[in-house]
A and B are shown apart, each in its own frame.
Chain A
Amino acid sequence: MSMAKPNVEAREKILSKLSGRELVNCFQCSRCTSGCTALKLLELKPHEIVKLVNLGFVDELASSDIIWTCVTCLKCVQRCPQKASPYHVIMALRNLAVEREVKVPEGYLKAVSRILESGLAEAVQDVVTKKMEIFNRESLKLPKIAFPKESFQAAFMKIMEER
C-alpha cells in the first residue's frame, strides 16, 4: 500500500498543458482501458492515468515508464463519453517528463537530434529486396530530398528552448 501525497501544482501544470479541463470530468467508466491497444501487452490503463492526474499523483507518472507505452491509436479520445481524452493527458505527462529531464526513451531523443541535424526524424536508408538487390532514392530515380535550409536549425533550437 502506498501512501503517496498529491501534488496540486503539478496537477495544475498538466491541466495548463491541455486545451480544456475535461480530464476532471472523467467518471471512471473504464471504456478507454477496455479498448486500449497497449493494455494487454504493456498494461497501460488510461482510466487509471487520468484518475491519478486528477487526484494530483502526477510526479510518479511523469517519471514512470507506463506513460511511454501509449500507441497513440486515439481510440480513447474517440470513445470517451466525457471527452476526458486520456491520450492528451499522456502527451502532457510526457512533455512534463521531458521538461524535468527524467527518463525519456532513446528512440525519441534520437528522433529529435536527427531533426536538429537534418530536418527529418529518420535517417535515409537503403532498401534491400528479397533478391538481395540494394536500392536507394537515386537508383529508384526519386528526386533528392530538399533538406531544410540552414536557418531551420537555429529556429528549431529556439523553439525547443522556449519556456
Chain B
Amino acid sequence: MKVAVFWGCRILTSQYTYEMSVREAFPKLNIELVDLSETNCCGDPVKSMKDLAANYLAARVLALANKTGLDNLLVPCNRCHFVISEAKNVLEKNERFSQKIIEVLKEEGLEYNPNVRIWHVIDFLHDFVGLDNVKKAVQKSLKGLKLATHVGCQIIRYSDLGRVDDAENPRKLDELVGALGAETVDYAEKLDCCGANLMYSHSDSALSLAGTKLSVLQNLGVDGLVVSCPDCGLMFDSKQKDAGTTVGAKLDLPVAYYTQLLGLSLGIEQEKLGLHLNQSPINQLLTKVSP
C-alpha cells in the first residue's frame, strides 16, 4: 500500500528521530512511503501573518501530493495536519481565496486536488492500517511498560473541522500503545498543551508549560511519555533540560515518539529508530524492554 508523505519543517530539520522511525517501521506494516517531488512549509507560522498566504502554502502541499497520483497523504506533524485541514475547508468555502490560490498554483504548473485525503500517523495506524494489524505485526511485546500518552492539541481540536480523535477523550494513541503490549495511564493534565507554539515569541513561557506538564508526568511514576508530533517532541524531549530549569524541577522522564516504540516492537534496531538521539533519558525506558 502506497501513501504519499509530507514531513513539514521541524521533522526534516531537527526531529530526525520521528522521520527515521516512520521510515523504518511503516514498510514492516506493508506501507510504502512516497516522498513528494519537492516540499515547502505547510504555512503554520504564516497563519499569524497572512491567512491567504498560509492557505496557499498548504494548498501547494496538497497540489504536490496530487502530483504523486496517490489519494492519501500521511502528515506526521500535528500542526501541519491542522493547517492543511483548515486550508481544505477554506478552499472549499472561500471563493476569493480559492481563486487566487488556484491561479498562483497554476502558474507553477501545480494543480490543487481537494480529494487528497490527509492522515496523521495516529489515525493512519489505528484506522487505515488497523489496530489488529498493528498488533499482529508485533514481534517483541512491550509488556511491563507503563506509559503516559500526549496526543497534542491540533489533531484533536476543534471537532467541527473533523479531527483525528475525540477532543475530550482521545483514545487512539493509547490503544496503539496498548497494541504493542504496553499499558497506558490516564491523568488529569492529559489534554494540556506542550506550549511549542510560544517558542516563536515567548520561549520562557513555552518551556514553563512543558516543564509543568513533565513534572506532573514524572510524579505519575510512569516509565515514559509517548508523543506523536515533532513540536511536542521538541518540547518534551529535546528541551526537557531547559524546561526543567525554567520550572525549577529535575526532570528525568524518558520521552519517545510512538513510531520509535512501534519500531522497537517490530524488531527494528534501536539505532535505526534514532533512539540514540533522544535527549531525554530514554535508556531508562529501554532497559525495561525485554531483549
Contacts and interface: CB of A to CB of B under 8 A. Distances in A.
A–B proximity contact (CB within 8 A): yes
Interface of A: 17, 19, 37-38, 41-42, 68-75, 77-78, 83, 85, 91-92, 94-95, 98-99, 104-108, 111-112, 115, 119-125, 127, 129-130, 133, 135, 137, 140, 142-143, 145-149, 151-152, 155-156, 158-160, 162
A38 B35 contact: no
B202 A91 contact: no
A127 B38 contact: no
Given A37-B195, A121-B9, 17 more contacts: A68-B201, A70-B197, A71-B195, A72-B197, A77-B158, A78-B167, A91-B48, A92-B51, A95-B50, A107-B201, A115-B57, A120-B13, A129-B276, A133-B276, A147-B38, A148-B39, A162-B52
A112 B37 contact: no
B9 A120 contact: yes
Interface of B: 9-10, 12-14, 16, 19-20, 23, 35-41, 44-53, 56-57, 60, 82, 90, 93-94, 100-101, 104-105, 107-108, 153-154, 157-160, 167, 191-193, 195, 197-202, 205-206, 208-209, 274, 276-277, 279
Given A142-B16, A145-B39, A147-B38, A162 B198 contact: no
A130 B279 CA distance: 7
28 contacts: A19-B93, A71-B197, A72-B154, A72-B197, A78-B167, A92-B51, A94-B49, A95-B49, A105-B200, A106-B201, A107-B201, A108-B201, A111-B41, A112-B46, A115-B45, A119-B41, A120-B9, A120-B12, A121-B9, A122-B9, A124-B14, A125-B14, A127-B277, A145-B39, A148-B40, A152-B40, A155-B107, A156-B57
Q: Which 10 A-B pairs give the minimum distances between C-beta atoms?
A: A107-B200, A105-B201, A74-B157, A111-B45, A73-B193, A77-B158, A122-B13, A94-B48, A121-B41, A120-B9
A68 to B, nearest CB: 5
A120 B251 CA distance: 32
Nearest to A74: B157
B198 A135 contact: no
Contacts of A129: 276-277, 279
B45 A112 contact: yes
A98 B45 CA distance: 12
A113 to B, nearest CB: 11
A92 B90 CA distance: 14
A78 B195 contact: no
A124 B13 contact: yes
